[in-house]
Chains A and B, each alone.
Chain A
């Protein structure tokens, strides 16, 4: 625990390269045909006819399937009018929605054949922005009677709390829609043989993908084997198998021929779910000496065209609304609205970055209003360390937290007072390049449905090697390294003798997967407990064999032998113990569950330079404390923080998915969707802090999403801070040069 171990995954990834779904050359996929989807060019339209005859006539076309062909599949979700079909049949609700698919011998033929599928559309008015959705003149699902798919509404209960405040600040901000952009786009392959489906899919959880395929096709889950090869990033958008993944499996079963599919980047930018997409109105009130006494958040969550996880996102934002602050009166409301855009689902943080973004902007605006340093306002309102476990007004039970200590530590590392002095100097000199210092303090919820836990099976083989079968599902995190470390820590077996297997539903019948920063605290704990069980069993076996008392046995990590204390000449190695275990094997199965979530926290300081003439922002420093409890391997934890910070900064500075008034995506290539690159980022300064949780034996919380949650508001606050002396109170994300320039102009002219 805590050792800086180089990732065992990397030599292969950096030399021969990984094997991603599109790289698979398994015998079962020999002669595989290619699936190409026909996607809607309209944001909202009725489908009045589909003519596949021209496409069928093209050489190389194996099959053309449309929504009409799905009639013998199970009806989606027991009559739910908002259920997402596998292929649109009656109506399309976003540009890029799959309408048909063609199966061709060659990949290139698919693109041409897809062009020849003629779909007749009767365009309907598109519902693009949230105002249109709430107005409800056009409904995406007329049977539902509203575009608001779920809501937790204001009943005016909090008016008194605000009436008692000396200062109240109210503002509406946008937490813009962003695209996950994993390096590996979505991909799947499938083969139907001997009444069983084998599906290879790029996913964060093989077992949920298996259940999605089985449910979609109306076959028993035992007739589906899902295999997850290397996965090139998911960020929440590869949970389960999307409709395309199910459709690929269906195409293999229908045609009896193995098929494969990998989407193009343009397809990915419209077909993969997006993240965020909230309009937030906050109201924050308190005293002139910096005590916050009331906070209210009212948000509209853009669900996109189908609900998917949007209600969960809004619920998480509502639950986490008050963040790290001890505020007597907190209320939060939401409406989840359907629009004719790509569906919105989980994206690194999923609902928690949105909550943090809102309250961290609110606290800064409150601080500006009363003329107090934002550091001081935060210090005066943190939940005190002696109040844990702490139940918030939102009903969350925070396990452990040292919020003030995290902020003090990061401010010391950043040199906060010196930064403020430098800022003052530049302001006084009228320097065209102004300095901005942004703070954020955050707490988030991790564990991703801890009640369903995670599985591990550990087997010691006769040759002394170990196989770990995990239900967790790495897609870049480094599970193979981490799980081997956990086994090594308890059993002393060298890491190169430990193989970690994941993502095969035949080999691992039960598993959940990787999302919600859950892997180490659930899957890792399961591995840890399996190692403990194996160790106990080994002790029993050794005691029998050496005719000694269990209590007298000791394990020597140096030579890997079990010995009776004081008898150095005789020892048993792991292979021998595995042989002694006989047909039972030296193995353990663990399904670790937890009835409570963990709450990592931290504080970030972003330093930006803003060219006040052009509005261009440069992130020059980013200093963070991200406390997720004890760290198993700093290499992995720092990697998660680095990537998370980069994605958080990207949302604050650059990224936004945009549509035109007709619902056409205008950011569907990487020319127009400005993902961040290393050139735009400084080296991050990561400060250690580890406050354990009592909720699992390792004391660990999740680290995967923390960087994003803390970074986004810190960077945004820094940009506003840089130009606040010019009268700017707020700039929506992304803080592009034009927006910064416009904000300065408006402040100057008093608009």
Chain B
């Protein structure tokens, strides 16, 4: 429960952070809210040589109305997402899901950027940005680039970010009045989802049903083809590779995905 020795560097700005990770490359880890990285370091499952702390880069903490989309700074805390009037109005799915992450202490420290960039398929927000078809903005030594959420997750804890890139912003299109639902199935309120479902209109994404967060494409296709909610939900586990862990085996997760997708679609259409 005590991390191995590391060098601590504090970034004063987003550009400074990019410079610092550029200097250290693979040896460096970015520290935002610390709720994923620090536990891994304490267990010595992560042993970075350098920790670049971006926790005080205030320019990356914002929620802005850009007209047809909302821009959210990567360092925006879950608590701020949960309590944003703008999000409550325009992106209630995101505000609600942020309020389901961990417990109040976690939500006051954890950030949307950290959650998205960590790439844990059991996290809530990655599935939410998939269902919302968000765009992620990364800054590197060669400037910024935009990555569609659908292209962001590559594998277990693996994203499209380069080692010298920093996730700075999430841009989320405002959905056109469609209903939404977030179903998080846990044993305890503070747990990661055993399975979760984020639905925005007919777009459905799954939490913890494979090595990455993923869209329930078979469900979406069935809905597009005019299937009933009941029938479409039956296809929720198609194309998934649910893990086996202490909470559930794959068969139970597949069952949960079908039940939760049905409930999500029923709720979002109610």
Which of B1, B4, B247 has the most chain A CB atoms inside 10 A of its CB?
B1
Chain B residues closer than 8 Å to A737, beta-carbon distance: 185, 187, 194, 248, 252
Q: Which residue of B lies closest to A736 (CB)?
A: B187
| Given known contacts A107-B2, A111-B2, A741 and B190 CB-to-CB distance under 8 angstroms | no
Chain B residues closer than 8 Å to A463, beta-carbon distance: none
| Given known contacts A679-B190, A680-B188, A669 and B4 CB-to-CB distance under 8 angstroms | no
Q: Is the CB of B246 within 8 A of A658?
A: yes
Chain B residues closer than 8 Å to A614, beta-carbon distance: 185, 256, 259
| Given known contacts A674-B191, A679-B190, A616 and B185 CB-to-CB distance under 8 angstroms | yes
Q: Is the CB of B252 within 8 A of A738?
A: yes
Chain A residues closer than 8 Å to B246, beta-carbon distance: 658, 666-667, 672
Q: Is the CB of B1 within 8 A of A264?
A: yes
- Within 97-121 of A, Cβ neighbours of B (below 8 Å) are at 107-108, 111-112
Instruction: Encode A714-751 as 1/0 by CB contact (under 8 A) with B.
Output: 00000000000000000000001110011000000000
A740 to chain B, nearest CB (A): 10
B198 to chain A, nearest CB (A): 18
- The docked-state distance in angstroms from the alpha carbon of A666 to that of B245 is 10
Q: Is the CB of B43 within 8 A of A674?
A: no
Whether, in the assembled complex, B156 has its beta carbon less than 8 Å from a beta carbon of chain A, the answer is no
Whether, in the assembled complex, A613 has its beta carbon less than 8 Å from a beta carbon of chain B, the answer is yes
- The docked-state distance in angstroms from the alpha carbon of A658 to that of B247 is 12
Chain B residues closer than 8 Å to A267, beta-carbon distance: 1
Chain A residues closer than 8 Å to B178, beta-carbon distance: none
Q: Is the CB of B185 within 8 A of A669?
A: no
B44 to chain A, nearest CB (A): 9
Chain A residues closer than 8 Å to B2, beta-carbon distance: 107-108, 111, 264
Give the total number of A-B pairs whose CB atoms are below 8 A apart.
Answer: 51
- The docked-state distance in angstroms from the alpha carbon of A666 to that of B188 is 18
Q: Is the CB of B43 within 8 A of A266?
A: yes
Whether, in the assembled complex, A654 has its beta carbon less than 8 Å from a beta carbon of chain B, the answer is yes
Whether, in the assembled complex, B239 has its beta carbon less than 8 Å from a beta carbon of chain A, the answer is no
Whether, in the assembled complex, A265 has its beta carbon less than 8 Å from a beta carbon of chain B, the answer is yes
Whether, in the assembled complex, B249 has its beta carbon less than 8 Å from a beta carbon of chain A, the answer is yes
Q: Which residue of B lies closest to A669 (CB)?
A: B43
Whether, in the assembled complex, A677 has its beta carbon less than 8 Å from a beta carbon of chain B, the answer is yes
B214 to chain A, nearest CB (A): 21
Q: Is the CB of A674 within 8 A of B252?
A: no
Q: Is the CB of A741 within 8 A of B188?
A: no
Chain B residues closer than 8 Å to A667, beta-carbon distance: 246
Whether, in the assembled complex, B189 has its beta carbon less than 8 Å from a beta carbon of chain A, the answer is yes
Whether, in the assembled complex, A384 has its beta carbon less than 8 Å from a beta carbon of chain B, the answer is no
Q: Is the CB of A680 within 8 A of B189?
A: yes
Chain A residues closer than 8 Å to B191, beta-carbon distance: 674
Instruction: Encode A688-713 as 1/0 by CB contact (under 8 A) with B.
Output: 00000000000000000000000000
Q: Is the CB of B187 within 8 A of A741?
A: no
Instruction: Encode A598-622 as 1/0 by CB contact (under 8 A) with B.
Output: 0000000000000001101000000
Chain B residues closer than 8 Å to A264, beta-carbon distance: 1-2
- The docked-state distance in angstroms from the alpha carbon of A108 to that of B3 is 8
Whether, in the assembled complex, B5 has its beta carbon less than 8 Å from a beta carbon of chain A, the answer is yes
- The docked-state distance in angstroms from the alpha carbon of A666 to that of B247 is 12
Chain B residues closer than 8 Å to A613, beta-carbon distance: 259
Chain A residues closer than 8 Å to B185, beta-carbon distance: 614, 616, 737
- The docked-state distance in angstroms from the alpha carbon of A654 to that of B191 is 12
Q: Is the CB of B188 within 8 A of A738?
A: no
Chain A residues closer than 8 Å to B43, beta-carbon distance: 266, 669
Q: Which residue of A lies closest to B5 (CB)?
A: A112
Which of B2, B5, B247, B259 has the most chain A CB atoms inside 10 A of its CB?
B2
Whether, in the assembled complex, B108 has its beta carbon less than 8 Å from a beta carbon of chain A, the answer is no
Which of A112, A667, A736 has the most chain B CB atoms inside 10 A of its CB?
A736
Whether, in the assembled complex, B145 has its beta carbon less than 8 Å from a beta carbon of chain A, the answer is no
Q: Is the CB of A674 within 8 A of B194?
A: no
Whether, in the assembled complex, A546 has its beta carbon less than 8 Å from a beta carbon of chain B, the answer is no
Q: Which residue of A lies closest to B1 (CB)?
A: A264
Q: Which residue of B lies closest to A617 (CB)?
A: B187
Q: Is the CB of B4 within 8 A of A738?
A: no
Q: Which residue of B lies closest to A737 (CB)?
A: B187
Q: Which residue of B lies closest to A616 (CB)?
A: B185
B126 to chain A, nearest CB (A): 18
Chain B residues closer than 8 Å to A687, beta-carbon distance: none
Whether, in the assembled complex, B58 has its beta carbon less than 8 Å from a beta carbon of chain A, the answer is no
Whether, in the assembled complex, A396 has its beta carbon less than 8 Å from a beta carbon of chain B, the answer is no
- The docked-state distance in angstroms from the alpha carbon of A669 to that of B248 is 18
- The docked-state distance in angstroms from the alpha carbon of A35 to that of B247 is 35
| Given known contacts A264-B1, A266-B1, A614-B259, A677 and B187 CB-to-CB distance under 8 angstroms | no
- The docked-state distance in angstroms from the alpha carbon of A454 to that of B5 is 50
Chain A residues closer than 8 Å to B187, beta-carbon distance: 616, 654, 674, 736-737
Whether, in the assembled complex, A676 has its beta carbon less than 8 Å from a beta carbon of chain B, the answer is yes
Q: Is the CB of A741 within 8 A of B252?
A: yes
- The docked-state distance in angstroms from the alpha carbon of A658 to that of B246 is 9
Chain A residues closer than 8 Å to B1, beta-carbon distance: 264-267
- The docked-state distance in angstroms from the alpha carbon of A654 to that of B246 is 11
Q: A738 touches which one: B189, B190, B247 (CB < 8 A)?
A: B247
Q: Can you list 19 A-B contacts (CB < 8 A)?
A: A107-B2, A112-B4, A265-B1, A613-B259, A614-B185, A614-B256, A614-B259, A616-B185, A658-B246, A672-B246, A676-B188, A677-B188, A679-B190, A680-B188, A680-B189, A736-B247, A737-B187, A738-B248, A741-B255
Please give me the 7 A-B residue pairs with the lowest Cβ-Cβ distance, nearest first: A264-B1, A679-B189, A111-B2, A738-B252, A738-B248, A613-B259, A108-B2
Besides A674-B188, A679-B189, A737-B248, 5 more A-B contacts (Cβ < 8 Å) are A107-B2, A111-B2, A679-B190, A737-B194, A738-B249
